[in-house]
Amino acid sequence: MSKRDYYEILGVSRTATEQEIKSAYRKLALKYHPDRNPGDKSAEDNFKEAAEAYSVLVDTDKRHMYDRFGHAGLGGAATGGFDPNAFSGFEDILGGLGDIFGFGDAFGGRRRSGPQRGADLRYDLEISFDEAAKGTEASLQIPRQETCETCKGNGAAPGTTPMTCPQCQGRGQIRYQQGFFTVARTCGQCRGTGSVVAKPCQICRGAGRIQKEKKLSVRIPAGIATGQRLRLSSEGEAGPGGGPPGDLYVVVHVQEHSFFQRDGNDLYCEIPLNFPTVALGGEIKVPTLDGEHPLPIPAGTQSGSTFRIRGRGMPDVSGRGHGDLLVTVKVVTPKKLSKDQKKLLEQLSASLPNDAFEPTPTSEHADKGLFDRVKDIFG
């Protein structure tokens, strides 16, 4: 049976670079690897075929001979069995995925035996707006895996120690031949630790860890915002086999305020005012995070005007000052008036010129009054 062209197998051109060849082979190796296709003879054949094509095309001398004379020019070099030297740097070809398929130990890489770092944990903490503004101390109750104090994390009963796994001889992995390829898998007996417990600890039942709840106190800095997180080092879960613990991340969620709105360190609010105040001017008291603050209102202030009070916003979480408070005034029209109030407003209205409240004219109509412009619009 004639062999397929190696370039066709990898799906690359005859001018492909070494990097393009490696990239093409990596995709095929991941697609057809026996661990991903258990019992699939076709996938295994494709995997072997791709490996053979790669071993030739990645080697400069073999590729040169193949380009000149085809399969005949290799003299059996590509079919004489598996050549480990042809796959130096195999983990790089797989893009660091060697451990997923168990290649790490087979090609001289690291193995996953021994103590491992524990998992990181996340805790979502909700605090009030005032607590975020002033800072607070929060008490947390964290369920987590902790190292068993009885066996110190090794899972063995007191007075005994774990023994070397007889299945993998302490390597944590089992190597076997699959076709022409040597594959390493995590040992099923010791689960990659390289040791087994003959007499398990009665407290943790050989696991080395037990589930507990830990009470912690965490300081919430003033100025913290929703989504920011605090890292508590070594307060995560204990590592398997007595390994170091992970970290705890506290993610903060700040409740909305009924009056203030926040944008970064600046605060925004809206103050309702009556017409005499904005017309005549005066001074009002504005609520802030630290009590009331006086705000002068100039005469003739328009509804929607915004005033900035510096340094009265949220504190910066890093301690670098405060943001500002921006106050928008809104003129409120009364819905009910007494007879005296109506009479006063009527007198005010009569004393004002007819065009006192007309919009500011554009330059094109600057010399026309309101009545003349209405005539222009409606004819």
Query: 248 and 135, same structural domain?
Result: yes
107 versus 160: which is more confidently predicted?
160
Number of domains in the chain: 4
Query: 92 and 215, same structural domain?
Result: no
Mean pLDDT along residues 220-233: 95
Q: How confident is the model at residue 32 (pLDDT cuts 50, 70, 90)?
A: confident
Mean pLDDT along residues 156-176: 86
Mean pLDDT along residues 332-354: 85
Query: 216 and 142, same structural domain?
Result: yes
Look at residue 115 in the predicted model and tell me its pLDDT: 72
Whole-model pTM: value is 0.58
Q: How far is residue 105 from each of residues 47, 134, 183, measured CA to CA in Å?
A: 20, 54, 9
Query: 276 and 226, same structural domain?
Result: no
Confirm whether 302 is domain-assigned.
yes
Confirm whether 110 is domain-assigned.
no
Confirm whether 340 is domain-assigned.
no
Task: Single out the residue in 38, 71, 101 at which a domain terminates.
Answer: 101
pLDDT, tens digit (0-9, with 9 covering 90-100), for 78-125: 443 334 333 433 444 444 444 434 444 444 444 445 578 889 999 999
The share of the chain scoring above pLDDT 70, in percent, equals: 80
Q: How confident is the model at residue 324 (pLDDT cuts 50, 70, 90)?
A: very high
CB–CB of 52/41 below 8 Å? no
Look at residue 240 in the predicted model and tell me its pLDDT: 84
Look at residue 137 in the predicted model and tell me its pLDDT: 95
Host domain of residue 325: 261-331
pLDDT at 162 over 80: yes
Strand partners, 295: 284
pLDDT at 267 over 80: yes
Task: Single out the residue in 254, 269, 289 at which a domain terminates.
Answer: 254
Q: How far apart, in whole angstroms, are the C-alpha atoms of residue 198 and residue 166? A: 12
Look at residue 44 in the predicted model and tell me its pLDDT: 86
Whichever domain contains 241, its CATH number is 2.10.230.10
Non-local (6+) Cβ contacts of 224 within 8 A are 127, 132, 135, 252, 254, 317
**How are beta strands 136-147 and 209-220 bridged, if at all?**
antiparallel
Look at residue 138 in the predicted model and tell me its pLDDT: 95
Q: How far apart, in whole angstroms, are the C-alpha atoms of residue 322 and residue 290? A: 12
Query: 352 and 299, same structural domain?
Result: no
Phi, psi torsion values for 37, nearest 5 degrees:
-135, 60
Look at residue 111 in the predicted model and tell me its pLDDT: 46
Q: How confident is the model at residue 282 (pLDDT cuts 50, 70, 90)?
A: very high
Query: 241 and 270, same structural domain?
Result: no
Task: Single out the residue in 198, 219, 254 at which a domain terminates.
Answer: 254
334 versus 79: which is more confidently predicted?
334
CB–CB of 143/216 below 8 Å? no
Query: 373 and 273, same structural domain?
Result: no
The share of the chain scoring above pLDDT 90, in percent, equals: 43
Non-local (6+) Cβ contacts of 214 within 8 A are 141, 142, 144, 146, 235
Residue with tokens 């130096």: 88
Whichever domain contains 83, its CATH number is 1.10.287.110
Look at residue 211 in the predicted model and tell me its pLDDT: 92
CB–CB of 74/131 below 8 Å? no
Query: 246 and 127, same structural domain?
Result: yes
Q: How confident is the model at residue 262 (pLDDT cuts 50, 70, 90)?
A: very high
pLDDT at 305 over 60: yes
CB–CB of 255/125 below 8 Å? no
Query: 242 and 134, same structural domain?
Result: yes
pLDDT, tens digit (0-9, with 9 covering 90-100), for 186-226: 888 887 778 888 899 999 988 889 999 999 999 999 999 99
pLDDT at 244 over 50: yes
Query: 205 and 267, same structural domain?
Result: no
Q: Please, what is the average pLDDT of the chain?
A: 81
